[in-house]
Amino acid sequence: MTQKKSTTPKTTVKETVKKTSNSYFEEQEPGVKLEMEYTEHLMDTKSQFQKVDVYKTKAFGNLLTLDGLVMTTERDEFFYHEMISHPSLFIHPNPEKVLIIGGGDGGTLREVVKHKKVVEAHLCEIDEEVCNAAKAYFPTLSESFDHPKSKIFIEDGFAFLDNNKSAYQVILVDSTDPIGEAAKLFEESFIKKVYDSLTEDGITVMQCENPLYKLDVMEKMYFDMKKYFEYVYFYFVPIPTYPSGYWSFIMGSKIMHPVKDFRKKRWNNKDFNTVYYNKDIHKAAFALPEFVKNKLGLE
């Protein structure tokens, strides 16, 4: 696939505003339904890869959904974006070059470029319509697209990794749920590609679903990653608008321990603020509940 780079994704929207009243966006798991009341349907379009919608909700500000699933809201986005990015960046001794696969809303990129150690932050997003939605309706996330450290690539993540071996200290996989195009990002073959695109001291973090409904997905990811990485650890974060309100990330590190190698001095000397993440949250997030430990056969 031909590589296409765009540091300023378009802001045009294919479908125009749909005004509504007393309407609810719904996301369902078996036997469970999340509802958010919205006042406007701001974007309604079908891209080459998925359905992209933006709603103006009463409680959570603008809401981005892909194929009917919650991706982010203005009110609670910081939980996800801080926790997918900062733990690895405060572990690696010199994360100069970082790759984000997915993450077209820009929130993870926004957090990555805050780090002084980061020289280049590349975002590889397959669907430019997601970037367009962010530019139009999530300015506090998409501001990162124009940061001098940022480079945006509209390309399939598989192909991108094939062309960038041993190139990155940190790779963050900010994907949707394992359906459609994103399903292949949860396969062992993709984990191997990520491993090969990391430097010898590299770290990856991947979003890994919620432990109440998708524990089998987490189990498979854990044992697939153990085939390649020295250290493989889950960590957790509350996200109010995600199914069950409880989410997981999985970290694979070639040589560094996720807790023992936390750079406390770098944290103390940082020049930016966070909303949720801090040094105590970093340590506590890696504590596993018993039902997860039992599933993975851990003591």
**Active centre residues (catalytic):** 174
Q: Which residue has the tokens 């930016």?
A: 272
Alpha helix positions (H), 248-288: 264-268, 279-285
252 φ, ψ to 5°? -120, 125
Question: What's the token pair of residue 125?
Answer: 């997003």
Taking the alpha carbons at both ends of the chain, their separation in whole angstroms is 45
CB 104 within 8 A of CB 81: no
Longest dimension (CA), the chain: 54
Q: Cβ of 223: how many Cβ atoms within 10 Å? A: 13
Among positive and negative, which fits the CA dihedral 42, 114, 98, 7? Answer: positive
Q: Is 204 helix (H, G, I), strand (E, B) or coil?
A: strand
Alpha helix positions (H), the chain: 77-89, 107-112, 128-137, 139-142, 157-162, 188-197, 215-226, 264-268, 279-285, 290-296
27 φ, ψ to 5°? -125, 130
- Specify the amino acid at residue 58: K
Looking at the DSSP bridge assignments, the partners of residue 53 are 44, 65
Residue-wise over 257-294: b if at least 16 C-beta within 10 A, else e? ebbeebbeeeeeeeeeeeeebeeebbeebbebeeebee
